[in-house]
Amino acid sequence: MLETRSKISTALYWAFVWGCGLMVLAFMIGPILLALLMSFNSGTTLRFPPEGFSLRWYEMLFDPIASEPIHTAAKNSIEVALSTVAVVTLITAPAAWALARAPKRFAGSVEPVLLAPLVLPSLVYALAALLALSLLGLGPSFLAVLIGHAAVFAPLMFRTVLGLAQRMNPALEEASATLGASRARTFLRISLPGILPGILAGAFLVFMQSLDNVSVTLFLGDPGRTMLPLRLFAMLEESLDGRVAAVSGVLILAAALLLVTLQRFGGRDAR
Amino acid sequence: MIRKETLLSWPMIAFMVLFFISPLLLLAGISLRGEDGSWGLGNFAAFLSDPFARGVLTGTLALGAKVTFFVSLAALPLVMLYWHAGKLLRGLILICTLLPMLTANVVRTFAWVVLLGRNGPISQTLLGLGLTERPFSLLFSETGLIIALVQIELPLLLLPVFAVLNRADRKTLEAAEVLGAGRWRAWFSAIFPQIIPAVLAGWVLVFASATTSYVTQSVIGGARLIYLPQFVYREVGVLFQWPMAAAISILLLASTGVIMLGLTMLARHERLQGHA
């Protein structure tokens, strides 16, 4: 009697873990596969189910004349994203490296400030930044978007680099210095390789987030220079343009390729 | 006095104070400014005494709570599966969790526009099964919005929990099983307490993200469902009511902050600490 009850309970357990677990997994990944599937749809609208296989949306997307606004928006967005990564790397990597070696009390009091943007809704920050801009008498601009993105996304790289810098053995750097290597040489041969996976992983996250951000871009950006997420957002609201699906396909592929490349270069610590 | 070893951290600290902290302080300051130039809590009082605005605030907080609840419900079996999974399946689950996070917000939202529509698979499946008489659309409804947000925010809860499980001790579970605890009890008494801090951290992220996801809210929710982000955008973009918009954002921050503080205190509670 007790035996059967525990058997049923165990069976239920595995049914729950495997059945519901796999269902949730499908729920999580399904919409992305669907977006990919729809991008190969041959119908004139994005109706479900797709009518047949074709590359027409991709052809239209890559057509330089018909999709000129999308291309410009993508170029603007990539420009901002790359500049953001550059700025963030320059200020974040040294800071994370230094804080990993700083006295515990100092690091402990500074880190929350540097990580705060992670939990603050970027919409609220965007509003605050726009307010500051208008009080200074400045208008929305490329520079404003760049600084906004850097401020909001810097913690992503700070976290990945800090994790690695803290795990690095300081004895290695000391040994290098004792053995007569110059400071620059020690940095290039010992310190930099140690934190490089963190920088790469952080750069990837910052790049993707900057490319995807709507609120900061919407509030601080020059309306004359459309950015990719805003362009797509507008296309999505106006009509179910099939090119949205095609852009989705390109973006998913780009994210996957970047991730694989990073894993090659960064080793398994990069995440 | 700046110490030598902290020197390299100052550019970032200065950048964040100048470009992140000070705008927020400005925002907090201007929220206290009244229309007639006086200072005080007038904007907050005006917002909270307007029944429509109050409805938007409670609606937004309720949306955050519902999404957080359903995300936790959905995450549970997957977290358990991850715990039992071998190396290969764990890798697969991790990729499936990372991919949605790395996909553009607009892409995820677009997928849900197709999924929730009248001709979408959800409506068609229920029609085919005879559960509904005519095709229906979940777009522009709160149900549809919650379904979409749950899928979009799930990774925010899963990733911190997976990180803990990677480091968790398998021996505790084995010990519990050897001691005769059933599968369920073994999991909930030996593993679950270890992931509680990560779950709380994930909740904060999910809640903050769900209440402020401007794109998903406006595309899936439509023009009829108004949440705080759209409300704030209207105050600034259409009505140029800076102090009011500032007050609303501070309210949004404060409510998220209170929840965060509560959860942090809960996580530090000695009974939970004892287990962790």
CB pairs under 8 A between A and B: 255
- Looking at the predicted structure, is the pLDDT value of residue B1 above 60? no
What is each CA distance from B190 to A104, B173, B182, B183, in whole angstroms?
Answer: 33, 6, 11, 10
Highest-confidence range of A33-42, A59-68, A230-239, B17-26, by mean pLDDT? B17-26
Residue at A94: amino acid letter: P
Position B83 pLDDT exceeds 60: yes
CA distance A38 to B256: 37
Helices (H), B18-104: 22-30, 42-49, 51-84, 87-102
Over the stretch B29-80, which tens digit does the pLDDT of each residue have?
988 887 777 788 888 888 889 899 899 999 999 999 999 999 999 999 999 9
Of B84, B119, B214, the CB nearest to A123: B214
- What DSSP character marks residue A44? S
Q: Could you give the CA distance from residue A128 to residue B22 in angstroms, rounded to a whole number?
A: 9
| Closest approach of A59 to chain B, Cα-based (Å) | 19
Confidence of residue B276 (pLDDT cuts 50, 70, 90): very low
Q: Helices A122-135 and B22-30: crossing angle, nearest 10°?
A: 80
Band (pLDDT 50/70/90 cuts) for residue A81 is: very high
- C-alpha to C-alpha distance for B98 and B86, rounded to whole angstroms: 18
Q: How far is A89 from chain B (nearest CA, A)?
A: 10
Structure tokens at A259: 């991730």
Report which of residues A49 and A178 the model is more confident about. Answer: A178
Structural tokens at position B216: 């998903």
Please give, rounded to a whole number of angstroms, the shortest distance from the CA of B182 to a CA of chain A: 7
Nearest residue to A234 via CA among B226, B227, B110: B110
Question: Who's near A27: CB < 8 A, 6+ residues apart?
Answer: B74, B151
| pLDDT average, residue stretch B223-227 | 87
Is residue B66 exposed (0-12), middle (13-18) or buried (19+ Cβ within 10 Å)? middle
Q: Are B107 and A259 a contacting pair at CB < 8 A?
A: no
Instruction: Check B204 against A18: CB less than 8 A apart.
Output: no
Q: Which of A23, A91, A156 to mutate against chain B (most B CBs within 10 Å)?
A: A91
Measured CA to CA, the distance from residue B204 to residue B259 in angstroms comes to 8
Q: Which residue of A has its CA nearest to B71?
A: A24
Q: Which tokens sit at A228? A: 């990719």
The pLDDT mean for chain A works out to: 86
Report the C-alpha gap between A214 and A211 in whole angstroms: 9
Q: Which residue of A has its CA nearest to B248?
A: A124
Longest dimension (CA), chain A: 80
What is the distance in angstroms between the Cα of B275 and the nearest Cα belonging to chain A?
23
Chain B CB within 8 Å of residue A152 CB: yes
The three-class DSSP label of residue B40 is coil
A208 chain-B contacts, CB cut-off 8 A = 102
B3 chain-A contacts, CB cut-off 8 A: 102-103, 106
List residues bridging with B39 in a β-sheet.
B33
Q: Tokens 């010992």 identify what position?
A: A190
Q: Which residue of A has its CA nearest to B77?
A: A21
Number of H helices, E strands in chain A: 13, 0
Distance linking the first and last C-alpha atoms of chain B: 40
Closest by alpha carbon to A77, among A210, A177, A197?
Answer: A210
CA distance A172 to chain B (A): 17
Q: Which two tokens stand for residue A213?
A: 């951000």
Is ipTM > 0.90 here? no
- Best CA proximity match to A262, nearest among A213, A209, A202: A202
Q: How much of chain B is in helix, strand and coil states, percent to nearest 5?
A: 80, 0, 20
Nearest by CB to residue A151, choosing from B5, B9, B19, is: B19
CA dist., res. A44 & res. A46, Å (int)? 7
d(CA A85, CA A87): 6
Sequence-ordered list of residues with C-beta below 8 angstroms from that of A72, at least 6 positions apart, any chain: A226
Tell me whether residues A17 and B8 touch, CB distance under 8 A.
no
What's the pLDDT tens digit per position in B116-141? 988 888 888 888 888 888 888 888 89
**pLDDT tens, position by position, A106-148:** 888 888 888 888 878 888 899 999 999 988 988 888 999 999 9
